[in-house]
Amino acid sequence: MKNLKLKAARAAMDYSQQELADRVGVSRQTISAIEKGDYNPSIRLCIAICKEVGKTLDELFWEE
> pLDDT 10s digit of each residue in the chain, 64 long?
899 999 999 999 999 999 999 999 999 999 999 999 999 999 999 999 999 999 999 999 998 7
Domain borders along the chain are: 4-61
Closest CA to 28 of 20, 38, 36, 37: 20
Residue 64: the pLDDT is 75
Q: What is the C-alpha separation between 62 and 64, in angstroms, rounded?
A: 6
Residue 36: the pLDDT is 96
Residue 1: the pLDDT is 82
Count of beta carbons in the 10 Å neighbourhood of residue 34: 25
Residue 42: the pLDDT is 97
Residue 61 phi/psi, 5-degree rounding, is: -120, -5
CATH code of the domain made up of 4-61:
1.10.260.40
Helices of type H across 1-64: 4-12, 17-24, 28-36, 43-53, 57-61
